[in-house]
Amino acid sequence: MDFKDSPAQAEFRHKVRQWLQANAPADNTLSRGGMESDEAMREGREWQARIYDAGWACLTWPKEYGGQGLTAIEQVIWSQEVAKFSTRDGFFAIGIGNCGPAIMLYGSDQQKQSLLPRMARADDIWCQLFSEPGAGSDVAGLKTRADKDGDSWKINGQKIWTSQAQYADYGVILTRTDPTLPKHKGLTMFFVDMKQPGVEVRPIKQADGGQAFNEVFFNDAVVPDVQRLGELNGGWGVALAVLMNERLAIGSVAPNGWPEYWDMIRKLELDGKPALEDSEVRRRTADWYVKNAGLKNAQARMLSAVANGGVPGAEASLGKLVGASMCQDISAYALDLFAEMGVCADEQMALMQAQFQKAYLYAPGLRVAGGTDEVMRNIIAEQVLGLPADVRVDKGVPFNEIKAGNIRQ
């Protein structure tokens, strides 16, 4: 075991740092959770193209597909270093982190060559079309149909909460191809052209006022069979592989509020004295320091397991589970420290306050996106600890006989 860099890793870190110092803005004022605006999207695309052109994008992907053929360790080193700068790194976590592996694992060679480098440079934006109004935690309960039509499929139905769909060129979509089979058995995965006539995207305004996710309606949208990912009715297996990558991808960029808090708390004064001289503040801060260290170190362990040839296991869930609530609590605490000024949301007047308010308002989204806290705990309990599964009332029942979604009495 070695938590310190090997000479080769240290050399890599040094190069990353040098490049970042020359190319990335240093202030820590960018709110990392904010993904709402066209402006953020433009910055995200710009940054992604820049790191791609300089050879820092998608480090673990093979060179022929736009990556660098490096290991997860280098990816972590990159993430650790870039986190010290104010960039939009990780802005395409869902496209690159989830859709990327889906194409990598199940796409044809020709698809990989034509699609992946453009994805890695954010020349094309990708979205993940899994959740539906009646199927989120229970995503296998989805209803969007794909019906065979010659060499193609016709897609009909509605997806929801689709991040970045309003910008997307492509989407990876999970559909129902046989509603008479039990729910996990009749699903098939495709990737779909989002710019075609049968696809309509309507933005949804979020609780924090931003607009990063959408409803997507499919009306006879066409997908050629060559864009099927995996076997017919084998979509659940593909989804699991993708979701596992999502947990890892989100875990590595999920804001937990710590860098912003640590920055702030060392500058804050309370009653004319440095806040860290207050013993309560000092100890609460230490608690979060410990939690953040645990997250960092757990992630390093997880990734070194992956680098040594393992696959990301269910334990990858813990990063997001811990980080999301931590972000919520840390921002609530920061706002409390600002006393009455904690309510003030004007950036000119109270930049620090406004920053933690943003975090307070996006944290609830983190606790739901990519699997809710409760679902994460179920995964840890059942898949990591091997505890007996919940009683499943829908097991083996044909899909079209299961109750789902909102049913008003």
Partner 1 sequence: MNFEFSEEQKLVQQQARQFLTEQSPLSVVREVLERDASQVRIHEDVWQGIVKLGWPGVAIDEQYGGLGMGYLELCVLAEELGRSLAPTPFSSTVYLAAEALLLAGTEAQKERWLPAIATGGLVAGLAFVEATNGIAGQALNMRWQDGGLQGRKTPVFDAEMAQLLVVSAINEAGEPGFYLLETDQPSVRCESLTSIDPTRSIAAVEFSKAAADPMRQDLDFAATMGVIQDRAAVLFAFEQLGGAQACLEMATDYTRQRYAFGRPIASFQALKHKMADMFVAIELARSNAYYGAWSLSTGSDDLTEAACVARLSASDAYYQCSKENMQAHGGMGYTWELDCHLYYRRAQHLASVLGRQAYWKDRLIAEVA
Ligand X SMILES: Cc1cc2nc3c(=O)[nH]c(=O)nc-3n(C[C@H](O)[C@H](O)[C@H](O)COP(=O)(O)OP(=O)(O)OC[C@H]3O[C@@H](n4cnc5c(N)ncnc54)[C@H](O)[C@@H]3O)c2cc1C
Q: Which of 368, 381, 402, 404 binds ligand X (CB under 6 A)?
A: 368
Residue 370 and residue 353: Cα distance in Å, rounded?
28
Report what 130 binds from partner 1, ligand X, none; CB cut-off 5-8 Å by kind.
Answer: ligand X
Please tell me whether residue 78 binds partner 1 under the rule CB under 8 A: no
Residue number with CB closer to partner 1 (212 or 249): 212
**Interaction residues for partner 1, span 232-291 (CB under 8 A):** 269, 271-272, 278, 280
Residue number with CB closer to ligand X (23 or 378): 378
Report what 337 binds from partner 1, ligand X, none; CB cut-off 5-8 Å by kind.
Answer: partner 1
Q: How far is the CB of 16 from ligand X (least distance, A)?
A: 28
Residue 113 and residue 64: Cα distance in Å, rounded?
7
Please tell me whether residue 314 binds partner 1 under the rule CB under 8 A: no
Residue 214 and residue 364: Cα distance in Å, rounded?
17
Catalytic residue check, 277: no
Q: Coil, helix or strand for 147?
A: strand
How many residues sit close enough to ligand X to count as binding (CB under 6 A)? 21
Cβ pair 233, 181 in contact under 8 A: yes
Report what 402 binds from ligand X, partner 1, none; CB cut-off 5-8 Å by kind.
Answer: partner 1
Residue 253 and residue 269: Cα distance in Å, rounded?
30
The string of DSSP letters for 24-36 reads S---S-S-TT---
Q: How far is the CB of 365 from ligand X (least distance, A)?
A: 4
Active site residue: 200, 246, 260, 269, which one?
246
Buried (b) or exposed (e) across 40-79, using 16+ Cβ within 10 A?
bbeebbebbebbbeeebbbbbbeeebbbbebbbbbbbbbb
Residue 143 and residue 160: Cα distance in Å, rounded?
12
Residue 169 and residue 161: Cα distance in Å, rounded?
17
Residue number with CB closer to partner 1 (313 or 398): 398
Say what the alpha-carbon torsion angle 142, 370, 324, 89 is, to the nearest 10 degrees.
-150
Q: Which of 335, 352, 359, 379 binds partner 1 (CB under 8 A)?
A: 335
**Interaction residues for ligand X, span 163-192 (CB under 6 A):** 163
Closest CA to 184 of 372, 405, 378, 392: 392
Report what 258 binds from partner 1, ligand X, none; CB cut-off 5-8 Å by kind.
Answer: none
Residue 139 and residue 141: Cα distance in Å, rounded?
5
**Interaction residues for ligand X, span 94-123 (CB under 6 A):** 94
Beta strands in 89-180 (DSSP E): 126-129, 145-149, 152-160, 170-176
Name the token pair of 109.
Answer: 């060679």
Report what 209 binds from partner 1, ligand X, none; CB cut-off 5-8 Å by kind.
Answer: partner 1
Residue number with CB closer to partner 1 (304 or 372): 372
Helices 72-82 and 279-307, packing angle to 10 deg: 150
Please tell me whether residue 372 binds ligand X under the rule CB under 6 A: yes
Using CB under 6 A as the criterion, which residues of the chain lie in contact with ligand X when the complex forms?
94, 127-131, 136-137, 161-163, 213, 365, 368-372, 374-375, 378
- Positions marked active-site: 246
Using CB under 8 A as the criterion, which residues of the chain lie in contact with partner 1 when the complex forms?
131, 134-138, 141, 160-161, 204-209, 213, 269, 271-272, 278, 280, 328, 332, 335-346, 349, 357, 360-361, 364-365, 367-368, 372-374, 377-378, 390, 392-394, 397, 402-409
